[in-house]
Amino acid sequence: MITGANAGIGFATAKQLAGRGAHVILVCRDLGRGKAALEELSRTPLVRGATAPILELAQCDLASLRSVRNFTKAFNSRNIPLHLLICNAGAMAAPERHVTIDGHEAHYQVNFLSHWLLTNNLVSEQIRRRGLANSDRKSGDPPSSALTAPGSSSSGSSSSRPAEDLLPDGSCRVLFLTSLMHHAGKLQWEDKQSVSSYSPFQSYAMTKLAALVTAKELQRRFKSLPPNLSRPGDCAVGVHPGVVLTELCLNFFTEARTNGVSKTDTATSSPAGGDGLARNGQGSGPAGGQGLSLSPAGVVSGLKSAVTAVMNAGSPIIMKTPLSSARDTVMWAVTAPSGLVGGSYVADGGVADGLKESGDLELGKRLWDETRRLTGVEANLLLS
């Protein structure tokens, strides 16, 4: 399952999986654009030995928590396993602060809160079903059909059903797309919803830090599950896809260069409701080393200067394409051993060093509990 799968890195990743015969669910806000993407994906050439993919389109608006709840309820009612969830969709570059129908700052809800709710609702249900399957086995009843994917088979090559072969024990892998810009998110940690002040750049960075912190916290919660509910391959990963040449990313970089004036008249930056947010692709932060200074005087101006330098130097040469990012980094995070990438920050096709504070135990727990309250999720014994 991939959010924002109709464009950019989400679409490129869906194409990689479709070419290997996977069952892929494209989660999109705009059904028109989603249908066009689905049609194009249906023509994806298959790798040798792969069977035809199963492709689906589902609608979900991350700017509405009700939409997320309805979507997860509908999916969970189907009683099928979820092997891989890629939280890719994103919003950026609103020149002014906007609030969603739920009362949250738009970047924070679309990029983070809704993805947290999506993940919690879907993964908690997968874990609950493991308990039911265990009960079935103890009672001598046939295994629950919830653990059998439609069209799945225990035979065949790894290229024919990659998600199932990757997680043969019913494990679940969650990828949160983050960004190098998560380093700057620390500056706004105490004002996550930009109430005191608003900067499109820092608001976006804040959401990417929250995503990485959540990936690490979810990994800890996977590890703390009791043996009867856990699976060896369960893992959560924060993925920086690189500086990717998508329309969404270019709109964001243009905003950084023009002191807050972003383009909102393009296909990717005019969402329904006219909130001025560029959405549904996954742009990411500027290239550069890790270990950035976190002094307020240097981070924002320094990263914006790096953005300008990238753009002035010729973005088509320096920036990655969605295809190369999906193939070299996202798919590496999908296929790498869970013991290697679980709870890690992945960048440039390998494990990298993220902001040190992103792995802080207390920080992760506080963010999780705070997010649970903001999304109206009751505490439970599974994940929340």
Nearest alpha carbon to residue 6 among 34, 44, 35, 25: 34
Q: Where are the alpha helices (DSSP H) in 224-343?
A: 247-257, 299-318, 322-325, 331-335, 338-341
At residue 366, the 3 state secondary structure works out as: helix
* Per-position DSSP letters for 178-235, written without gaps between them: --GGGGGGGGGGGGTT-SS---HHHHHHHHHHHHHHHHHHHHHHHHTS-TTT--TT-E
| 8 A C-beta contact, residue 311 and residue 101 | no
- Determine the angle formed by the axes of helices 114-139 and 200-223, rounding to 10 degrees: 10
| 8 A C-beta contact, residue 289 and residue 16 | no
Our answer to whether residue 345 is catalytic in this structure is no
Q: What number of CA atoms fall less than 13 Å from residue 132's CA on the CB side?
A: 13
Nearest alpha carbon to residue 1 among 54, 64, 70: 54
Residue 19's identity, in one-letter code, is G
| Contacts for 362 with CB less than 8 Å, ≥ 6 apart | none
At residue 38, the 3 state secondary structure works out as: helix
| Contacts for 199 with CB less than 8 Å, ≥ 6 apart | 188, 300
Q: How many beta carbons lie within 10 A of that of residue 267, not counting itself?
A: 11
| 8 A C-beta contact, residue 27 and residue 2 | yes
| Contacts for 310 with CB less than 8 Å, ≥ 6 apart | 243, 253, 286, 287, 318, 319
Q: What DSSP character marks residue 73?
A: H
Cα gap 193→196, rounded to integer Å: 9
| Contacts for 274 with CB less than 8 Å, ≥ 6 apart | none
Q: Which residues are catalytic?
A: 204
